[in-house]
Amino acid sequence: MSVATPLLQVTDLTVGFRIDGQVRKPVQGISYSLDAGRTLGVVGESGCGKSLTALALLGLIPAPGQVTGSVRFAGAELIGQPEAAWRDLRGNRVAMVFQEPMTALNPVMPIGTQIAEVMVLHQSLAWPEARDAAIGLLEAVGISSPRQRAASYPHQLSGGMRQRAMIAMALACRPALLVADEPTTALDVTIQAQIIELMQELQSEIGMAIQFISHNLAVVSELADEIVVMYAGRIVERAPAATLFDRPAHPYTKGLIATLPDPDRRQARLPVIQGGVPRIDAFAVGCRFAERCPLADAHCRSVEPTLDPLEPEHWAACFKAGQ
Amino acid sequence: MAGFVLRRSLQALLVLWVMSFVIYGLIGLMPGDPLDVMIASNPGATPEVVAHLRAIYGLDQPMPVRYWHWLLDALHGDFGFSRTHSEPVLTVLAPALAQTCKLMLISFGLSVVLAFGLGVAAARKPGGWVDGFVSLFAFAGISVPVFWLALILIIVFAVQLHWLPASGMGTVGDNGFIDQLRHLTLPVLTLTLASTGQFTRYVRAAMIETMRMDFIRTARAKGLGEGRLVLRHALRNALIPVVTIMALSFGTLFSGALVTETMFAQWGMGKMIYDAILANDYNLALVGLLFATLVTLLSNLAADLAYGWLDPRISLK
Amino acid sequence: MTDAPAITRGDAPILEIDRISVHFPLAGGGWFSGPAPMLRAVENVSLAIRPGETLALVGESGSGKSTLGQVVAGLREPTLGTLKFHGVPMGKAEWRAARKAIQIVFQDPFSALDPRMPVSDLITEPLKIQRIGSAAERRERAASLVAQVGLPLDALNRYPHEFSGGQRQRIAIARALAPDPSLIVADEPLSALDVSIQSQVLNLMKGIQEDRGLSYLFISHDLAVVNHLADRVAVLYLGRLVELAERASLFAQPSHPYTAALLDAVPRIGRGRRRRGRSLSGEMPSPLNPPPGCVFHTRCPKVQAICKTTPPMLEAAPGRPTHLAACHFKE
C-alpha cells in the first residue's frame, strides 16, 4: 500500500516559542507520514497543537517561533529552506484552507480576483486568463452563476459558498497536498456534509493528499484513511481510521469517541472527559493526559510514555494502551 | 450613490443655513458695532446723526430682521461689503481662499504621502528600529507647537542659511512661479510636519492591525511575497479607517493655517477672518467663517464617499 | 431547591407564541428609492413551551431560529402575533415585570461577557438591575451559582479572559440562573465549543433542569446534541415551522424530508467515508424571495408538481396525532 517514499514525511517536528525566558513547545516531537492521494485526519481539542503543526508544514509559524525536526515533502527537506522556496511551494504544491472563511478571505477584494491571484503568481498566467480560470474553478466547486459570483465580495456570499470559494482558491494550482484546518467547523451540518463531499470529489479528480484537521472525530471519520490523535502538543495515537474506531487504544481517543453525542441513541448523561487541555506553560512531567485520565497511576504521572506500535500501523503513547 | 450625494448635499445646505444664523447671532453679541468704530473716529457726530446712520444701515432693527435681510441678499449672491477693505466681501475673500487652498492642499497631500510611507515602513516590524525612528518623528510632530516649529524653520532656513524668504507671498515685482514656490516652501513645510505625525500614527496602527488579520495569513499561504501582501492586501484594508480620519481632519487644517499664515505673513483665510473679527468687519468675518464650515462639511462628505468606495461592505444609500 | 418536576403533558404551558411573524425592512428604503425590501425572518409560527420541558428549535443559519429565540426572550418585538407568558399576553409593562423570569444564553462565550467585569459582578449584575437582595445576599448567591455550574470558588474574582470557552459558557449559564428564571433561551450554546466540552455543558444543563425544573428553549443546528437534551423538537425552515414532534417520534422517523436530511447530515462514527450525492443539495433560498408553494421544494428529494404551487399545512403525520409536519408527502 505504502509506496517507497511517502509524499509527506514528518519526523520529530517541534514548534517552540520563547515565553518569559523559557522555551515552550506547543508542538513536540511529532512524526507521521502521508501518501499521495490519501487523507489523514488530525484530531484533538483546541490547544493541542493541530493548527500549529499545519502552519509549520507551510513555513507559516509566526516570527519568534522556532521549528525544528524534519518535514520532507516529495523527497525534499522543507525545514530550513529559504523563504523564496517556501513561497514557491505555498498555494502551489501545498495549499491550505482555513476555518473561518469570512475572516480568511480579503473583505475588499472580489473572490474571483483572490482566486486568480494564485494562478498569476504560480502559473505565470496573465490576469485575463487567470480570471477566466477562476470562473471555471468556482463552477468546479459547485457555485452557480460563477461569472457573477467571481465579481462578488466575500460578505455577499453565504458561509458555505465562501468555503467553496476558499477551496477553489486552494486547489487553483492542483496542489499535491491540501491542508484543511477545521474547514467545516463554522458551517451548518448540512453544508458541512456538502463540503466534505466536495473535498472527496476533488480529491479523486486531482489526486491530492489531504491533511484534515478537526476537533470532531465524527467529522474526520467521514473522509479519513488514517487518523492521528493529538493531545497537548504530542501525538498520542495513530492508526488507520477503521482500526482506530474499532480498537481505540489511548484513553484520550476513547474519551473523544465516547463524548460524541450519538444522533441515533439518547443517553441520560453523556460520558465526559473531565477538565480541559492544560495551558502550554502547565504541561505535566509525566503523561500529559494523566490529570484527566481515569486510568492514570503514579508511573503515568512521573514518566512520559513514548509512541509505541501496538500492531501493524497502530501506535499509541500510553502505558495502559489497550486496557 | 447619486441619491446619497444629493441627500448629503441638501443636509450640508441646511447645516450651512443654520450655521449662518448662529454665526450672525454670535457676531451680534460681540461688544461694539460698526457704527461705534465710525463714531470713535469722528468725534463730531451728534446723537441725531448716529441715530440716522443706524436707521440707514438698518442697525436699529432687531437681529432676526437684520439676519433675514442679509439672508435674502446672500441668496442673490450679494454678501455685502467689507468695511475695512471697502470692497465687496467676495472680492476680498477670493485671493485669501485661493492662497489657503494652495497651502492646505499641498501640505495635506505631502503629509498623506509621507504618513503612508513612514506608517507602512514602521508597521512592517513593530518594535524594530525603523518603527522606533518613525514613532519618535511622529511624536515630535504631534508635540511640537506649530508656532515654535515655524520660528525654528525661519531661523534656520531664512535667517541663518538665507535659502528661503522668511515671510510674505512673493517678492515685489517678481511674480514668477519659482518665487511663489520659494515663499510657499516654509509654510507648507510647517503645516506638513505638524500634521504628518498624527497621520503616521494612524497609518501605523491600522497597518499593524490589518497585518494580524486572518486573510493576511491566507495571502501568505497562497505564496504571496511581502510586497504584494502589503500593497494589494493589507493597504487597501488599512486605508478604510485612515482615509476617513484624514478627510475629517482636512477641515481642522483650516485652523492650523491661521497660525502658519500669521507667522509667515501670508494673506489667507485664517488671517483674514482673524483680522475681520478684531476690526468688527461683520460681513467679511461671517462669510469667511461660513466658508470654513463649508470646507469642513465637504471634507466630511469626501470621507463618507471614500469610505464607501474603499469598502464594498458599505453601501451608500 | 425544588423537587424534580413531574412533567405531565397536560400542564398549562408557561409560554405560548401564537402566529408570530417577524419582518425586517432592509436598509435601502429612503427618500430617493422605493420602499425597503422586507426580509421575512419568521413567518406565522405557533409554539408552546411547558413547565420543565426542553423544546429544541432546529434549523440551518438563516432559518429564523435565533430571531424567534429573541422574540421569546423579549429582546425583539414580533411584527405580528402574540406571546403569552403564564397565560398573560405580553406588552411592554408585562415584559418589565417578567424580564427576570426569562433569561438568555448566547452562542459566543467570548463576546457575550463584558471583559472588564469580574465573574462575581457578571453574575450579580442582572440581580442588581432588578434590585434583588442586598449586596451580601447577592455575593452569596454568586458563590452558590459558581459552585452549581462546576467552577471553583476563586473563579468569582477572575475575569472572563482567564477562562476557556467551556468555562465561559458555564459563567454565562450561572449568570442566566441568577434571577432564578423559569425559562432559559439557549441560542446555540454549544456551537463554539469543542465536542468534548459540549458534552460537559450539555450534562450541566440537564442537571440544572432536573434540580430546578426550569424550561429550555434550546436553539441548535446539530440534531445529535438535540437528541440528548430535548423533549420536543421544532424544525424551522426559511422562517416557517415545518415539523413539530416529540423527540422520540421525530428521531425514530422524521416526517418532513428536511428533518430527515438534517438528521442524515450529522456525521457519525462507523459509517465510513461519506458517500457521494447523499447530502442535501444547494442552500436555503433567500428569505427576501421565498419560493412559491412549499418553501423547501427547491431542495427536496421528494418534490412533486403540487409542492411548487401549494404551500402545505402543518398537520398530524399519518397515524401520529401529536407529530406535526408541513409536507404534502409526510411520512
Q: What percent of chain B has pLDDT over 70?
A: 91
Amino acid, single-letter form, for residue C13 = P
| Phi, then psi, of C73 in degrees rounded to 5 | -80, 0
The reply to whether residue B6 touches residue C32, judged by beta carbons under 8 angstroms, is yes
> pLDDT tens across B94-135, in order?
888 888 888 888 888 999 999 999 999 999 888 889 999 999
Calpha distance C82→C325 (Å, rounded): 22
Nearest chain C alpha carbon to A144: C282
pLDDT of residue C84: 93
Calpha distance A63→C291 (Å, rounded): 51
> pLDDT tens across B196-215, in order?
998 999 999 999 999 999 99
The pairing of strands B87-88 and C320-325 is: unpaired
pLDDT confidence bin for B143, thresholds 50/70/90:
confident
Spatial contact of B171 and B179, defined as CB atoms under 8 Å apart: yes
Instruction: Name the neighbours of B, counting chains with at least 3 Cβ pairs within 8 A.
Output: A, C
Calpha distance B39→B45 (Å, rounded): 6
| Residue C152 touches partner B, C-beta closer than 8 Å | no
Q: Give yes or no for residue C123 having a pLDDT over 60.
A: yes
| Residue B313 touches partner C, C-beta closer than 8 Å | no
Which residue matches cell numbers 525654528? Answer: B152
Q: C236 forms bridges with which residues in the sheet?
A: C241
For an interface test with A, give the residue of C60, C108, C196 to mutate (most A CBs within 10 A). Answer: C196
Q: Provide the terminal-to-terminal Cα distance of chain C, rounded to the nearest Å.
A: 43
pLDDT of residue A117: 95
pLDDT of residue C28: 55
Task: Report helix, strand or coil for C78.
Answer: coil
Q: B136 forms bridges with which residues in the sheet?
A: none
Amino acid, single-letter form, for residue B269 = M
The reply to whether residue B3 touches residue C30, judged by beta carbons under 8 angstroms, is yes
For residues B258-287, give the mean pLDDT: 82
- Least Cα separation, residue B244 to chain C (angstroms): 22
Cell of C215: 424550561
Q: How many CB pairs under 8 A join B and C?
A: 14
pLDDT of residue C3: 39
Q: Give yes or no for residue C5 having a pLDDT over 80.
A: no
pLDDT of residue C277: 59
The reply to whether residue C27 touches residue B7, judged by beta carbons under 8 angstroms, is no
Task: Report helix, strand or coil for B64.
Answer: helix
Query: At a CB cut-off of 8 Å and minimum separation 6, what does C41 contact?
Result: C22, C23, C24, C64, C67, C239, C287
The neighbour count for residue B301, using CB atoms within 10 Å, is: 17
DSSP code per residue over C11-33 = SPPSEEEEEEEEEEEPBTBSSSS
Q: Give yes or no for residue B272 having a pLDDT over 90.
A: no
pLDDT of residue C4: 39
pLDDT of residue B141: 85
> pLDDT tens across C9-66, in order?
457 899 999 999 999 887 654 555 556 778 889 999 999 999 999 999 999 988 999 9
Cell of A319: 502505558
Q: Give yes or no for residue C1 having a pLDDT over 50.
A: no
| Residue B3 touches partner C, C-beta closer than 8 Å | yes
> DSSP E strands: which ranges in chain C?
15-25, 38-49, 54-58, 80-85, 88-89, 102-105, 183-187, 215-220, 232-237, 240-246, 315-317, 320-325
For an interface test with C, give the residue of B9, B11, B315, B317 to mutate (most C CBs within 10 A). Answer: B317
The pairing of strands A177-181 and A94-97 is: parallel
Give the CA angle between residues A237, A239, A245 to the nearest 5°: 95
Question: pLDDT tens, position by position, for chain A (323 residues)?
Answer: 444 689 999 999 999 998 888 889 999 999 999 999 999 999 999 889 999 999 999 999 987 889 999 999 999 999 999 999 999 999 999 999 998 888 999 999 999 999 999 999 999 999 999 999 999 999 999 898 899 999 999 999 988 899 999 999 999 999 999 999 999 988 888 889 999 999 999 999 999 999 999 999 999 999 999 999 999 999 999 999 999 999 999 999 999 999 998 888 888 888 889 888 888 888 888 999 999 999 999 999 999 999 999 999 999 999 998 66
Which secondary structure element, helix H or strand E, spans residue B292, and what is its range?
helix B282-310
> pLDDT tens across C167-184, in order?
899 999 999 999 899 999
Q: What percent of chain C has pLDDT over 70?
A: 92
Cell of B131: 518603527
What single-letter DSSP state applies at residue B160? I
The larger pLDDT score, comparing residue A194 to residue B78, is at A194
Calpha distance A89→C191 (Å, rounded): 35
pLDDT of residue A14: 96
Q: C23 forms bridges with which residues in the sheet?
A: C40
Query: At a CB cut-off of 8 Å and minimum separation 6, what does B252 contact?
Result: none
Q: Give yes or no for residue C275 having a pLDDT over 80.
A: no
* Measured CA distances, A232 to A46, A47, A58, A276, C23 (Å): 9, 7, 21, 10, 47
Calpha distance C52→B290 (Å, rounded): 67
Reported as half-sphere exposure (CB side, CA atoms, 13 A), residue C150 has a value of 17
Spatial contact of A121 and B223, defined as CB atoms under 8 Å apart: yes
pLDDT of residue A298: 93
The reply to whether residue B313 touches residue A153, judged by beta carbons under 8 angstroms, is yes
Calpha distance C288→B49 (Å, rounded): 75
> pLDDT tens across B295-315, in order?
888 888 888 888 888 888 887
pLDDT of residue C19: 94
Calpha distance C21→C140 (Å, rounded): 42
Nearest to B219 by CA among A42, A108, A187, A174: A108
Which residues of chain C neighbour B315 with C-beta distances below 8 Å?
27-28
> pLDDT tens across C284-296, in order?
888 888 899 999 9
Alpha helices in A31-158 (DSSP H): 50-57, 83-89, 101-104, 111-122, 127-140, 146-150
- Least Cα separation, residue A216 to chain B (angstroms): 22
The reply to whether residue C27 touches residue B3, judged by beta carbons under 8 angstroms, is no
Alpha helices in A144-266 (DSSP H): 146-150, 159-170, 189-206, 217-221, 241-246, 251-259
Task: Report helix, strand or coil for B62.
Answer: coil
pLDDT confidence bin for C270, thresholds 50/70/90:
confident
Q: What is the mean pLDDT of chain C?
A: 87
pLDDT of residue A169: 95
Q: Which of A60, A95, A100 is closest, CB to CB, to B214?
A: A100
Cell of C111: 463576546
Q: A68 forms bridges with which residues in the sheet?
A: A14
pLDDT of residue B310: 86
As to burial, measured by CB atoms within 10 angstroms (0-12 exposed, 13-18 middle, 19+ buried), residue B176 is exposed
DSSP code per residue over B219-275 = HHHTT--HHHIIIIIIHHHHHHHHHHHHHHHHHHHHHHHHHHHHHTT--SHHHHHHH
**pTM of whole model > 0.90?**
no
The neighbour count for residue C49, using CB atoms within 10 Å, is: 24
The reply to whether residue A60 touches residue B222, judged by beta carbons under 8 angstroms, is no
pLDDT of residue C27: 65
Helix, strand, coil: what percent of chain C each, to 5? 35, 25, 45
ipTM over 0.95: no
The reply to whether residue B7 touches residue C31, judged by beta carbons under 8 angstroms, is yes
Which residues of chain A neighbour B222 with C-beta distances below 8 Å?
90-91, 95, 117-118, 121, 169
pLDDT of residue B172: 63
Which residue matches cell numbers 502505558? Answer: A319
